[in-house]
Each structure stands twice: as structure tokens, then as C-alpha cells.
Amino acid sequence: MISKLLESLYTKVFINIVIENSQTVVYVEVCSKKSVLQNMHKYFDTTTMNSKMYEFIHAYYKESPFCYVSILDKSPLQGAIPTCDVKEMSRYCDINSSEHRCFSKDWAYYTSEYDLEAIKHEYRSAGVDFIFSPFVIMANFFKDKIDNTLSMFVLLEDNYISFSVFDNSKLLYAEYLNMEHHKESDELLMESPLEDDELDGIDLEEIDIDDDSSGFDDFTNIEDLDSGEAIDEFSQEQEIKEIITKEEYSPTDGFNEDYQRFSLIKGALNTFYKDPKYNSKFIESIYIADGVGVTNDLKNYLEEEMFLSVYVRKIDLAVALCDMAKAEI
């Protein structure tokens, strides 16, 4: 009671760290009981904690004993799953090496325990109070839409895309997509097109254990081509080729990135439709939380090629992170 009373006399400082591709955004908000006294964004040309960032954070740290440091989780091994039951979770992720939290008992989000420890270790000098999943930020950002629509919801970060499908607040599918990873794999595909055949050749879905013939022989087998799996694989291959050709003609990086995002969204949606683990439904609209400032091209791609109704909302990830931290205390 006394501590609460004394706490109200102090200002609260929220330091929010969002790591981007080549820089780190630190958003600081100094709040009194009800109002925001000061807020500012500071950009550091580093993705790790350096002395400049530490000094900046420490200066605010000294202002109040009630200083909270929040970080947006960037673990590539994170995601969200449409269940909150621990037994069912193992179907979607390795729960032994993951830390998970339930969201409204309907769905859960998880991340790698190792990556959490890595974040804590990286920011041990400043200390970390909250680590938030981008899926939670997205769920809060689109709370008004998630509760009453069947749509795709996408949170665009600098290098990552949080992709999810909600049906009236019930999560159907979610995936955390790393653009850099996909870009590298795409570049590999571009540099050595001959390896496509080899990559396709070692695809487990195409290997028939009982069949003694080699993988190359499968292409000549007309019976295999008639099967549904072969057609699916063929269509995926076609998509990859489309991505390669489109990237070759891309005039700018922004265009590249937007197309890459489009292709990732398209790929994720395909997975949602095809993977039997997920209860797939036909999606007609997509809500995008734009945290990077995409061009209108992405919207055009989605509307013209996938015939989706696209709604784009700007989001300041650091501010959203700050709002989450405020709600936590």
C-alpha cells in the first residue's frame, strides 16, 4: 500500500528497443500518473548494445527507479499456434526448447528459450523487463478486426513478417517469416539454377521409399505427374521461378522488398491452404500493420494477383511496444 503510494509520486520511464536491419530504434516515454511528459525516438547504427546506447538508456534509468526496458522479440524460431493445450502444442512446435504464453486461452505464441536468454545476456548491462512477441502486438493492434472477421493479419517489420489468419478471434494459422533467409535462398536459386533440379530431387515428399528408381526418373514417369502431390510441387516450383524472374526486373530495393513481402505472404497463404494441420478457410481480406513504410506496390500486388481486399494501417512498433509495457504493469 505504501509502496504503491510512493510509486505514484515517481514518474515512470519506458524504454522500448526495436532492432531493425542495420540499426536499433530506442523509444523513450516518460510518464507521470496519467500523462506523457516526454517521448523521443533515438536511432543507433548498431544492432547490438554499444556504449552510446547504454549511456543513452542509463541517463533515463537514473531519472526514476521505475524504469522499464522492453524489447521486441526477433527470434526466427518464434511463432503462434492455434491451441493453448500443451499436449496439442507439440504438433506445431518443439515445446521443450520453447517458451510459450497463452493469449485469451484461444491461442498461444512461443519463442526459443535460447533466444530469450541471448536477449537477456545481450542487454544485461541495461537490464530487460519485458520481451514481447510481434504476434501479441499485432493481435492488440488489430483487436477491433480480429474479433469479428475472417482475415489475414500481417505485421511488417524491417526484416520480418508476422503472418496470421484469424477467424473471429480464433487463430487458424500463424508464421513468422524471415525476409533475409528467404532472400538468401532466393539468391542461391538465382545464382545456380541448375541446382533447382537437385533441390527438387532431394525433396522428401517426392521420394518414394519403395521405388528403386532415382529422383530424376520421377519426371519421366507420367503416373507420378498425375498424382496431386506432383502437381502441387510443380506449382510451387513455378512460383519460385516467377519470384526469380520478377526480382531480376526489379528497378529498386523498395520494389524488391515489397515483392519479396508479397511472395512471402503468398507462400504463407499457400501453406495455410495446403497444410492439413490447419483448418483452412477461404480468405478474402488482408489487414497489414505497416511498421516499415511499404509502397503502394505491395497493396497492388495483393489486390491484383491474389484478389484480396487490402487494408493498410501504419504502426510505430516502438510506440506499440511501449503501450504493451504500460499495460503489463
Partner 1 sequence: MKYSYIKPRSKTIFTKDVLLLLAFFSVTMVMLFGTYAFLLFRDYRFTQDMLDINEQKSELRASILKMSNEIATIEKQVLLSEKVFTKNSVLKESISNLFDLVPSRITLSEAKIMENGLVLYGITPNKDVYNFMLQAPLRSIFHRTYSSFYPDKNGWLRFVSTNYIDEEEELSSEN
Q: Does 329 bind partner 1 (CB under 8 A)?
A: yes
Site residues (CB under 8 A) for partner 1, limited to 90-119: 99, 101, 103, 111, 116
Residues 229-268 that bind partner 1 (CB under 8 A): none
Q: Which is nearer to partner 1, 34 or 62 (CB)?
A: 62
Beta strands 309-314 and 67-72, pairing class: unpaired
Q: Please tell me the count of residues contacting partner 1 according to CB under 8 A.
A: 29
Minimum distance, C-beta of residue 224 to partner 1, in the bound complex (Å): 46
The contact pattern for partner 1, residues 10-39, with x = CB under 8 A and - = no contact, is x-----------------------------
Q: Which is nearer to partner 1, 77 or 199 (CB)?
A: 77
Which of 150, 186, 170 lies closest to 105 in space, CA to CA?
Answer: 170
Judged by CB under 8 A, the chain residues 126 through 165 that form the site for partner 1 are 127-133, 136
How far is Cα 175 from Cα 92, in angstroms, rounded to an integer?
A: 11
The length of the chain in residues reads: 329
With binding defined as CB under 8 A, does residue 327 bind partner 1?
Answer: yes
Site membership for partner 1, residue 328 (CB under 8 A): yes
Site for partner 1 in 56-85 (CB under 8 A): 65-68, 70, 73
Q: How far apart are CA 13 and CA 62, in angstroms?
A: 10
Least distance in angstroms from the C-beta of 66 to partner 1: 5
Binding site for partner 1 (CB under 8 A): 3, 6-7, 10, 65-68, 70, 73, 99, 101, 103, 111, 116, 120, 127-133, 136, 324-325, 327-329
